[in-house]
Structure 1
């Protein structure tokens, strides 16, 4: 490999010849439009087919005088492969869903997609809107709230440059932004494609640590495209560039180099996480195939140079006082097929590792081969579930399978790429955030992918082993902001109860959860718990607490108190299982601390639309309390959709987080018997829970609301849980582009998947609440080899008028309980229902209710 004499690049770095130069990249300003939508876009829109190409079929389209062809490979037949046609990765790519729709493997590190200039929406890169595309990048997160994440080292393809002069091409992100052809996005598991109005079609697929792009061009000598707000003829001579920026424009240093003989571009950067503290390093290695090289060079903003082949930290300030920086390759016309392939390896360790990843995983630039392998990986994962969908609409099937698919996008398996410590344990990243995912995603993976869930648990324990605390949120090797309690305690407690044991060090796991309960860190805003002195001595977090042991947000005293209580309950269960009886009693006792914030006299006072002061019929809510034991008022509806909904995010001063006291007053899954009693008994509890869902207070866009849909079980009315599950599906969870009600967090899909399969977990307990599945039969691969857990509706009604369980049988015997245990999914079995249009008596007896406050010794 050649390098510039005297360059610091190339010192003892093997094939890449790179030592990681650095320079600063200040943020550049956003704007909603970078180019005028040229008249040629209208022509392309008319001529191109819509992306409804059947899997396995060859497609072609006419673009600027040339025909471009491609295909979506189906791979080998089998149930898992068959259902991939029902997976629509574009669901949730607008309206705040922040779903990643691009090419990915299950839990894959490489995630390739088009990045759009969509402020406040492009956390995952791509948004289904009308904003232009600024590049195609290779790593993303999915479903997160907050700021954009990753999106490092975007590629961009110009069909050619005005006057055939490379310096007249647009290099900075804001200036190269190009509109897409509306309706041209095509997303399938392991594949994504999009047409741009500059006549470029971009396709992409991935392996674990590398992305493969195919940029196709019309074969005409020139194409008239919009440049500088007017159309100009651009010759056919593609230019591809790689930019060092990321989606959030957070880069603080980095360098880039291009090798003129081969066109290889390598580089690195230091970036910040989107919802945490610290920095991380990332590296890439890009190679190209399909056309001869004309020229190569680098750029800083719009200053492109053919002479300068590398930019490091020392020269970056001179070349680029702010904006995009990278390298480019100008090609002759492609040698065949009118396309150029770009292979980008990524790594969190080094450029050498990025190059090695690409060369090992995609040695042949075989696009169809890589795409087929990605589809097979998804087919294998989704093959853990089979359904009889007779009579069920394609929209409903798409909602189900797409939801399952999204649960496996993150956390990402970055084993072997850990830049912080050496370990033989798995390493998973992008736990955004366990506060969201413990409620549905991790319990679902425990059933359908126990191997991956076991690795995640081991990874959490190894993070504790090397960092000193379990994370509540973690991304890009950085500590993320804690939103509530130390909820990894619940994930670990759930795993303990459900026999997640392979390779798990339970001694260290128990040490980790006890550390959360007993030892306050210096910054409990990013790990562990705060206000522990008061929690231990007073049994609640006072509104005016003076914490002298650490720092962190002093708000959220209600929501953190109920979460700490449930965290302690889960620790108590682990302690009991490990025969640590005194610990079990201590944490079991602390799990009752939620009662200390129950104000039985608190009324539900609110203003109607006319400004009149009204009061509902319900009394008794969780409320903040001062250190002296006196009450402080918190409006019972604040932070709900009908009152100051957006006032309780991370920087809130309120006592609840992303939810109201109405919502948090239901979060006592460890002691529903006491809660039902405090709310006036079963009938009154059911009336109150019904009012919560009917009045507009409930918001399904945050995961804390999930369990409330099914808590009617604890009032002896499991049929009402089914009623409300049917209300939310498909009204808020459906197959439309905005088919989820909030940030996906890889948990929205888990919620809908559970509803479709006919049960919902009480995370941290060995309890699944039963409702009728939305399929005639659901088959889930059991842990015991060769066995299946089967849930069947004998008199299935695809119109769903019969939505109430009337009778049930478990393995041929009558079954009246409204819940089952994890043993069903471990050993397999047959659970059958008869359903009706009216709520019956099934599951309503005292002995049929889900357990509450279980005896710790199991007797």
Structure 2
């Protein structure tokens, strides 16, 4: 997660007022006559200012992802705040930080070569870069189009393993002789070798390459196959640097070549006679297995080059995924509806279904990739999928279990068949506990439990990419020391505070599974370890901002092996002090992407103890309010999400609703920069959706914290049980002045607890919330608070 410009509170409130006050507009109808929710999905939200959202064509969780690749912050291929396009590639990730990802084997179309001289066409990536027209971009679920200054309009759509491009060329048919090239390149320019070939009889372009992941170790091989339709073949060849050759059918680049293979553009091409109606198509199959499988994928999924039919099928797939949600949007602004539905859409872009495309091992289990990263996704993406798409969530959890079987550990991050970097704890443990407690079906729980116990007990050789480091200190000292002595494995010795609180919660999740599966001694052991977070709490630590004491005492602080305290300013790595100093590097300090102020609130399993340690419910709420009002918190980092709703634990659920309505829409809106930070594979999108549903899940627990939905009524249909769960606001106010629950009924009976369990979404029912303009006593009593290991004060 990279930082983004923060909106001043006054500006944020002005945006909120504008968006709340706008009037809902009508939309086109879907084929079934209902309002088409896809009209409220804008894939361009978050494509500028570092949002890194994938804007192109994809199916839900699809492997093939087609879009124009631009020059700039092109982590997802296309970015709005850019000016030139260098190609169109077929696989991408969405919302990731760090370096760009995938973008392999871009194709590029030119209407003709100047003077009909093949060597006057543009070949190298930097030379062929061409301006794109700002008013030309159209992005819808399953479809993307863009017009270039060279007279090419490119449209694209996808199936699961292939992309279909439709190129329309300006100019008279006499002047057209289109050239389409493929480049053995990827977005991060990580290639170590590559090979491409062309069939001079058909124009088919094929090849493969070896590349590196953008946030992990190792490498991967990828293969492609390009076929054309709509124009007669004129000639074919290969190209390198700025020269093309008609007589050669293969080209190869290796790591020991004279030129740097990572930056050298090289590939094959096909040139065509003037196409009918100035339009032709290119079909691209991709595969991690082989060239032949890449060709077979395309031939099987798109045998007829049916562009319009493929777009229609993609839209149908997206409607099916999103139709499980139903809202009564009367009075709700069109902008807020777009924020909601676009967030739901982005939450279903990744992880990606690579089943049948895993060359690393043979298995009958599903294989999903681009868990990018679980540190980000466990907090909101996977809990949302458990609500909206439990079938896909089951497949993803089964995939994680199968990765454990064959790799020896659950990943905390994984992309392009490679091990990704671990940012904190072993957070697949949280996912497994969450899925178990919410009765996600089809998972081998014995093997899943074996995997989470291994995370807790066995330190891997390289804990930068799996498991946990510092386990000897964790078990013996009860915390991760600063400058830990750890001869048992290698890894980045930073983040001692954030790793300690994450390990504690991971162990709580292991304990939950142990208890449910009948492992009583394990349950007691891991439950005890889950209390280790308190060992980093320095009760007399104070905090000041610009030399002024904040008035709060007691914060998490570093500790050394001998038990003595270190020091890290509690506001360090917040927006108020050295915001970008706590990343995943050897100088990354003792908290990760956040401050000790933020991490001091992280003990979601034992909020009774935390509230007590921070001075009781009144003082806890006061401190949490200060976090949100002072500028210390950046909601663009996922660990900020829970703090918005932790007022529930102090008996102040009204304040959770208040701050939900501050962050949405002040930091989330319909502009191209309309998300906080980058999307992290849909984390920001899922945050918005869950918040607007009025359901904040505490991941790893069977707990949903209740706030009023942003709609008059909202229903979710469980795709496994067919049951419908409805949350209805009584006295709904679309100006959002009445956002405080006065009373509640669950299935017609009074409900005073400020939280729900997942059974509501399995069995169906109606939760009715009566709203008012002022905070009430609803959900404020100790007996109404969410579960905690320790009693509340």
TM-score range, shorter chain: over 0.9
Match of 2:610 in 1: 675
Deviations 1:77-105 (A, max 9, x none): 265x7100000000111111111010000
Match of 1:77 in 2: 32
Would the alpha carbon gap of residues 339 and 720 (structure 1) be closer, same or farther in structure 2, given more than 3 Å must change? same
Residue 98 (1) aligns with residue 38 (2): no
Q: Distance in 2 between matches of 1:76 and 1:358?
A: 28
Q: Distance in 2 between matches of 1:807 and 1:737?
A: 39
Task: Map 1:809-828 onto structure 2 (within 5 A).
Answer: 809-828=745-764
Task: Map 1:218-257 onto structure 2 (within 5 A).
Answer: 218-220=170-172, 235-257=175-197
SS at match of 1:755: helix
Task: Map 1:840-851 onto structure 2 (within 5 A).
Answer: 840-851=776-787
Task: Map 1:610-689 onto structure 2 (within 5 A).
Answer: 613-651=547-585, 652-689=587-624
> Is the CA contact (8 Å cut-off) linking 2:194 and 2:254 kept in structure 1?
no
Residue 474 (1) aligns with residue 414 (2): yes
> Is the CA contact (8 Å cut-off) linking 1:300 and 1:320 kept in structure 2?
no
Deviations 1:621-669 (A, max 9, x none): 0000011111001110111111100001111431000000000000100
Q: Distance in 2 between matches of 1:122 and 1:738?
A: 14
Q: Distance in 1 between matches of 2:645 and 2:27?
A: 37
SS at match of 1:589: helix
Q: Distance in 2 between matches of 1:113 and 1:846?
A: 52
**TM superposition outliers: structure 1 runs of 4+ over 6 Å:** 318-321
Query: How far 1:544 moved relative to its partner?
Result: 2.5
Residue 739 (1) aligns with residue 678 (2): no
Correspondent of 1:449 among 389, 393, 397: 389
Match of 1:765 in 2: 701
Query: How far 1:301 moved relative to its partner?
Result: 1.7
Q: Distance in 2 between matches of 1:455 and 1:568?
A: 24
Q: Distance in 2 between matches of 1:341 and 1:777?
A: 45
Would the alpha carbon gap of residues 686 and 521 (structure 1) be closer, same or farther in structure 2, given more than 3 Å must change? same
Match of 2:629 in 1: 694
> Is the CA contact (8 Å cut-off) linking 2:55 and 2:78 kept in structure 1?
yes
Match of 2:114 in 1: 162
> Is the CA contact (8 Å cut-off) linking 1:255 and 1:267 kept in structure 2?
yes
Correspondent of 2:155 among 200, 203, 211: 203
Correspondent of 2:206 among 258, 266, 269: 266
Task: Map 1:580-599 onto structure 2 (within 5 A).
Answer: 580-599=519-538
Match of 1:173 in 2: 125
Query: How far 1:426 moved relative to its partner?
Result: 0.5
Task: Map 1:682-831 onto structure 2 (within 5 A).
Answer: 682-745=617-680, 746-782=682-718, 785-831=721-767
Query: How far 1:243 moved relative to its partner?
Result: 0.5
Query: How far 1:221 moved relative to its partner?
Result: 5.3
Task: Map 1:378-417 onto structure 2 (within 5 A).
Answer: 378-417=318-357
Higher normalized contact order (CA 8 Å, seq sep 6+, divided by chain length): 2
Deviations 1:44-83 (A, max 9, x none): xxxxxxxxxx998xxxxxxxxxxxxxxxxx873265x710
Residue 140 (1) aligns with residue 87 (2): no
> Any gaps of 5 or more consecutive residues in structure 2?
1-25
SS at match of 1:469: coil
Q: Distance in 2 between matches of 1:544 and 1:319?
A: 42
Match of 2:3 in 1: none
Match of 1:433 in 2: 373
Correspondent of 1:331 among 272, 281, 287: 272
Residue 371 (1) aligns with residue 371 (2): no
Q: Distance in 2 between matches of 1:78 and 1:468?
A: 50
Query: How far 1:614 moved relative to its partner?
Result: 2.0
Would the alpha carbon gap of residues 644 and 266 (structure 1) be closer, same or farther in structure 2, given more than 3 Å must change? same
Residue 574 (1) aligns with residue 547 (2): no
Q: Distance in 1 between matches of 2:83 and 2:768?
A: 49
Q: How many residues align?
A: 763
Deviations 1:203-260 (A, max 9, x none): 00000000000000124258xxxxxxxxxxxx32111111010000111011000111
Query: How far 1:315 moved relative to its partner?
Result: 12
Residue 184 (1) aligns with residue 118 (2): no
Deviations 1:15-56 (A, max 9, x none): xxxxxxxxxxxxxxxxxxxxxxxxxxxxxxxxxxxxxxx998
Q: Distance in 1 between matches of 2:68 and 2:335?
A: 26
Would the alpha carbon gap of residues 55 and 288 (structure 1) be closer, same or farther in structure 2, given more than 3 Å must change? farther
SS at match of 1:147: coil
Q: Distance in 1 between matches of 2:485 and 2:503?
A: 18
Mean Cα displacement is larger for which, 313-322 or 624-633?
313-322
Would the alpha carbon gap of residues 343 and 221 (structure 1) be closer, same or farther in structure 2, given more than 3 Å must change? closer
> Is the CA contact (8 Å cut-off) linking 1:75 and 1:376 kept in structure 2?
no
Query: How far 1:606 moved relative to its partner?
Result: 3.3
> Is the CA contact (8 Å cut-off) linking 2:63 and 2:91 kept in structure 1?
yes
> Is the CA contact (8 Å cut-off) linking 1:251 and 1:271 kept in structure 2?
yes
Would the alpha carbon gap of residues 269 and 840 (structure 1) be closer, same or farther in structure 2, given more than 3 Å must change? same
Q: Distance in 2 between matches of 1:75 and 1:781?
A: 19
Deviations 1:182-222 (A, max 9, x none): 12111000000000011100000000000000000124258
TM value normalised by structure 1: 0.87
Would the alpha carbon gap of residues 549 and 762 (structure 1) be closer, same or farther in structure 2, given more than 3 Å must change? same
Q: Distance in 2 between matches of 1:449 and 1:680?
A: 41
Q: Distance in 1 between matches of 2:259 and 2:648?
A: 66
Deviations 1:586-613 (A, max 9, x none): 0000000001000000000332xxxxx2
Mean Cα displacement is larger for which, 156-165 or 719-728?
156-165
Deviations 1:152-171 (A, max 9, x none): 01010101111111111011
> Is the CA contact (8 Å cut-off) linking 1:268 and 1:281 kept in structure 2?
yes
Query: How far 1:130 moved relative to its partner?
Result: 3.2
Q: Distance in 1 between matches of 2:722 and 2:287?
A: 38
Would the alpha carbon gap of residues 847 and 148 (structure 1) be closer, same or farther in structure 2, given more than 3 Å must change? same
Residue 86 (1) aligns with residue 86 (2): no
> Is the CA contact (8 Å cut-off) linking 1:295 and 1:330 kept in structure 2?
yes
Q: Distance in 2 between matches of 1:580 and 1:448?
A: 31
Q: Distance in 2 between matches of 1:263 and 1:782?
A: 48
Q: Distance in 2 between matches of 1:659 and 1:318?
A: 44
> Is the CA contact (8 Å cut-off) linking 1:622 and 1:664 kept in structure 2?
yes
Would the alpha carbon gap of residues 586 and 395 (structure 1) be closer, same or farther in structure 2, given more than 3 Å must change? same
Match of 1:193 in 2: 145
> Is the CA contact (8 Å cut-off) linking 1:482 and 1:526 kept in structure 2?
yes
Q: Distance in 1 between matches of 2:551 and 2:196?
A: 66
Would the alpha carbon gap of residues 783 and 267 (structure 1) be closer, same or farther in structure 2, given more than 3 Å must change? closer
